[in-house]
Chains A and B, each alone.
Chain A
């Protein structure tokens, strides 16, 4: 019964998300474009000594979709529902905030996952790139990063009083991470102090994890990082359910 409820809502939300072009552009086409451009510039071959640019930052390209969907798409969707009074209408039904957040997490998570699959496929088909590390470990790492970044987005989604503030908070979370975490500009080319400062961004840690795994490191080399990211996901989920706002007031 519960799962039926979840799937009915998820199906509707998925249809709605596919009907709007924003998410397809930022969540799916942009990461794909970046990996193709980087691949064309640097080529995809993985040198034995120094891994190629594509290989070195492959985790970063996987996470662009997570970032776009988790820090923009999902929180802005919920802020829009609050603005349009859709949440207010749901506040006088038995819907639990956790259900609404969970449905968004699931639906938007699928969009991010689809974007990651396209990135992997493009890397392989156009440039013959294959991650060196274990695939199950990479998948696991991917979901850990997805949950931790989405939990930040969920806090914004729950607490933003109106759509303008949601947009502002999303930009504050999204753009520094996009610029300084190594998604678009490789992390290692920043000067030392910038690297140190940017290292506190959760996405920086997520990308270090994904890059490490795709370069062949084992998960056990990243245990602290994994614990921090999972902790962030749990705290974010807790905060967003507790502080969920139905209406702007």
Chain B
């Protein structure tokens, strides 16, 4: 496999400012086919902003991004026919029911994917006729991840995938991420839960105040601090002045 076929995401020199605040500074990294890649950092470090600039839902100031070999600014529809995204603040039309959301999302792809089995897989079958607004936080989170993966994407972006989930639901979600990874889907996730990152990711990077402070395999990230595990190293790296 050549390098370009193996690369599903390439980010080079990505920067974004809001007025005087430099939210993302010169960020570069590469994600390969079939791997789970973590973007780690505390709240406000620029994880979501980076993700949105990569996806093209927010305008970047400078830098180059290639998703599945394409430019998100020009090939939006072709990219998202093959990639999926779960945003942190997903929301739905007032009064819409779970099956209606699934149906109207699935119909955007061709061929139209089979989504009923996913409802079972995510344990949402019993809530299929509920209004989205009536779901619990964890159920909403599961639904938005289900929708991001509804078309079996080659690459999926998950922003804070287990935010608001209880420990059991988190483990369910991890199992699901592992399962889609085994089927060959690459995953880019943002998180500040180190147990999650250690369980799921092969590689990752840490960002602090918009800048990359460490990158590599999980072992390399642990070694970048002086901790016994990722959690300790993360805290050391983030607290370092």
Contact = CB atoms under 8 A, between A and B. Distances in A.
Interface residues of A, number: 27
A247 B91 CA distance: 13
Nearest to A18: B95
A86 B92 contact: yes
Nearest to A5: B107
30 contacts: A1-B110, A8-B107, A12-B100, A12-B103, A12-B104, A16-B95, A20-B94, A20-B95, A84-B91, A84-B93, A85-B87, A85-B90, A86-B92, A86-B93, A89-B90, A89-B91, A90-B108, A91-B57, A91-B76, A92-B57, A92-B83, A92-B84, A92-B85, A93-B108, A93-B109, A94-B78, A94-B108, A94-B109, A246-B57, A247-B58
Nearest to B58: A249
B96 to A, nearest CB: 6
A196 interface: no
B107 A4 contact: yes
B94 A8 contact: no
Interface of A: 1, 4-5, 8-9, 12, 15-16, 19-20, 80-81, 84-86, 88-96, 246-247, 249
Contacts of A95: 77, 108
Nearest to A89: B90
Contacts of A93: 80, 105, 108-109
Contacts of B81: 94
B36 interface: no
Given A19-B95, A94-B77, A89 B107 contact: no
Contacts of A16: 93-96
A34 to B, nearest CB: 28
Nearest to A15: B100
Contacts of B94: 16, 20, 80, 84
Interface residues on B, range: 20 to 34
Contacts of B85: 89, 92
A85 B108 contact: no
Nearest to B83: A92
Given A85-B87, A85-B91, A92 B104 contact: no
B55 interface: yes
A156 to B, nearest CB: 19
B89 interface: yes
Contacts of A89: 85, 87, 90-92, 147
B87 A88 contact: yes
Nearest to B101: A12
B110 A8 contact: no
A86 B108 CA distance: 14
A85 B140 CA distance: 14
Interface in B89-124: 89-96, 100, 103-105, 107-110, 112
Contacts of B108: 5, 90, 93-95
